[in-house]
Each structure stands twice: as C-alpha cells, then as structure tokens.
Structure 1
Amino acid sequence: MNDLKLINQDGQLLADSRAIAEITGKRHDHLVRDIKGYIHILENPDLGSQDHILENSNLSSQDFFIESSYKVNGNNKAYKSFLLTKIGCDMVANKMTGTKGVLFTAAYTKKFEEMEKQLQGPRLPGTYREALQQLLIEVEEKEKLETKNLVLVQQVQEFQPKASYYDLVLQNKSLLSVSKIAKDYGMSGTAFNRKLRELGVQYKQGDIWLLYAKYQDKGYTQTSTHIIDAEKAKVSTKWTQKGRLFLYAMLKENGILPTIEREGQQDES
C-alpha cells in the first residue's frame, strides 16, 4: 500500500480522493460516486426515519468532503475530485470491509497524527505570565550552561601548564580559600573578591568567581565541583600557594599590604 500524502490547506489537513482510490485499489470515479452519495444524505437527512437524532445534528458535508477538480496532461477538461477531512476519511473507511478497509484506516490515521504533531510544533505560552516564566527558565538554564562551560574552561587551564619543580612544591601545599587570604589583609572574603575584580583579576558569573583568561593557566587556583544531590552542585575555587604569592605581589603594587607588614611599618615610624 502506497504512503498517503496529505495536503495542508490553510492549516487544515486534507486527503485527495485520487490518492485514496490508488491506495485502496478502487476506481476513482466509483469513489467519487460514493462520496456524492454521502454528501446527498448529509445535506438531505431523512427526518421521517426512526432515527430522530439527525434532526438537530446540523451536519455539513463541508466538514467531511470539499469539492475539487484536476486536469490530465494534454487535456483541458476538468475532472471532479474531492478533498477529505479526517472525519471524511473515517466515513469512507467505515464503508470498506476486509483487509483494504483495515489498511486504509491504519494509513490515514497514522498520517493525520504525524502531520498534526508537525503543525502543532512546540507549545506556545498562553498568557503573559506563562511567557515570562518560560523566558526566565530559558535565561536561567542558559546562564547555568554558560557558567558550567566557563568553570570547565578554567579547570582545563588550571591543569594546562607544565609545572616546574618549584611549582610542584607549591602545589603540594594546602589550598587556601579566599576568606583565609582576605584575613591576612584584614578584609572580608566579599570585600577581597570585589577588590580582585577591581584589579582585573576575576569576574563574577552567577554566584561563582572566575579568573580572567590570562590568569587561568598560571596555576594560581584549583576549581572543583561538589555534588550536593541529583539537581544541585557547588563550585569551589581555592588559591594555591603560587596564587597567594601572585596576589601578594599584585596587591603590593597597588599599595595594599598584609596586616602584618602594615603593623611593621607602623612600628618603624
């Protein structure tokens, strides 16, 4: 059985009677004759019959069958055909028996379902509030992904340099949190992070502080991710002893000394 092709006419899915005739092996003129008979009954219901449910049904043949036409190559004569809606296909299929009827029902049902899903596409928000919520979710997910990628970049850069013997010795020392280093300068971790941002050492991505690219491959920090549960993880960045010496030199160039050195200057004065 050939694949049934549907027509999208202003958002309405329709099947051509010629395709249906080809699929079912029925002569097209006989199918057209049958459809004309269905239309006649729909437009002229027998209200005198015992089935009075038809009296107020407001049936319209256009809901089932839409008249159309086609021409054959080399012939200007127009031949009648019909475009069938899904319920029009239902009606034709219900009149068929045996294998052909079953196969035709399976073919059009599957094809209509596939095409309807394509037309629907992704669900659009129905209200302004839903649209805003969807936008916030997308922005949050994008920011999480961006942060994750930036953390990975920093982690790769941190392990990129070939360490000298001196570097290896320093890396074997204990790692220090920013709060610990900040304490040496009489500052809070928050204030110290802000100062490093002002000096162009690091920037904030979400709630994570990351080094600028030119410092990421120097061995100044080690960044790790701690899994809290299936949905949450905490990123932690700590400074190596080499990073501590780098901060000391940079801060000193900018007139910021550790508390112990400031106290020494005061004693000398």
Structure 2
Amino acid sequence: MNQISLVNEQSMNNLMTSLDIAELTGKRHADVMRDVRHEIEELGVEIGERIFAHTSYKDKSNRDSPCYKFGKEGAMQLALKYDAKTRYKVIKRIEMLEQQQNTHSYMIEDPVERAKRWIIEQQEKQLLIAENSVKDQLIGELKPKADYTDKILQSTGLMTITQIAKDYGMSAQKMNSILHELKVQYSQNRQWLLYSKYHAEGYTHSETIPITHSDGTPGTKLNTKWTQKGRLFLYQLLKKNGILPTIEKRNEV
C-alpha cells in the first residue's frame, strides 16, 4: 500500500485510497479520481459521499494533494469498472488489509475487551460474506458482457462478416440473412449493402476490387469489411434480439 499521511486516520471503513486503485490498475491517479467522481455522480451525492470520502495526502513535494479514501464497498464499486484481473487484485488487497487490521485487534491485553472485539469481528465477517455473495452475483452478471465487449475494444483493424459470424457460431450466410431481417442491409447484384441510414455511421469500410467475369469481361466487386465500431453495433443489436456470441452462451451455462 502507498505510504501516505492521510488527514483522517484510516479505519475498517477506510481500508483503501484512490492511490491504491491507481497502483493496482496502472492508471494515472488523476484518472482514478475522475472515476471516483463519476461513481459519486452516478450513485447520487448522498450515497456517493457516504462511500467515498474526500481527503488529502502528502505528495513527494510534501504538499497536500487530494485523494479519496473508502472501504470495501467503495473498492468493489470501483472494481466493477475494470477488467476481471483488476477486480481480483482489488479483492486480494482488501483481504490482506482486513487480515492486518484483524491481527492488530488480537494484541489487546484486556481479555474481556479482546473477547468483545472478537465477537464484533465475527459479526462483521458474516456481514461481509453476505455482501460478497451479492457482489459476486453482480460481477458474474456483468462479466459475460465485459468479456465480449473487451474483446471488441481490444481489437484493431477491419473484420469480414465471416470472422464476426464465427464469434456467434454461425456461417457468414446465416449472419447476412439475420442482418437482412433486422433491416441492416439488403442484397443487390449478389452483394450486401447497408441501408442508407447506416452509411455515415462508420460501421463499415468498402473498396472495389477488379474481377474477371466468367465470360472474360472485366468488372469490379465491392469488398466490405466491418470496423470495430460496426462490430460493437452488431453485438448490441443482436443481443437486443436475443442472439448472443458463443463466449456469452458458455458463461450462461
């Protein structure tokens, strides 16, 4: 954990800071601060400021710089914004910090106070188990979408309809037929063309290539490929119509 001097002393409800999340995600601290502010805005000020407490720390120049501190609830709220590996790192960091703080409680000399502390900790553990069960379900429900969406966003370049159809476990012919039924494209001279309302959306990139007809006469053929923006559009449209990529079907089993 970052060695920082917080204005307010950390407690069980303030296990982590935005600096810790920056370290775990590899993001700039300013970007994590922006993420926290976005969560507060989305949750509403009343809930958001209860989960995320604005504070400060001493930077390398010994100046007071802003940061946020939060407990497990806030850490998990942020973790849901990131990928599965980062969520795992956050969970393990929380477990380590909780274990450290629990170890300190057993150093209480008075046996009665130590017993009281033990009872409180057991109650807290039961609450955390219940909270984790809920959060695990939420993460599980969000993960299928994140898996395929991340796959799209991490990709670069253009894709053929055959490549996209493969993600859904179907042929290009079947995919083209579905997109025709959904009024995305139509067939003209044995070529699939987008309806005019999609022309300027940046979903596809086409080029003409020279061909030779069977009778020996020259001609051209339109070669259309889908951009990653177009691929994401297809994913959202198909999912809306109950058609899922193979990776999400596996996660639903």
Q: Shorter-chain-normalised TM-score: which range?
A: 0.3 to 0.5
Report the structure number with the largest CA radius of gyration: 1
Name the TM-score, length of structure 2 as normaliser.
0.36
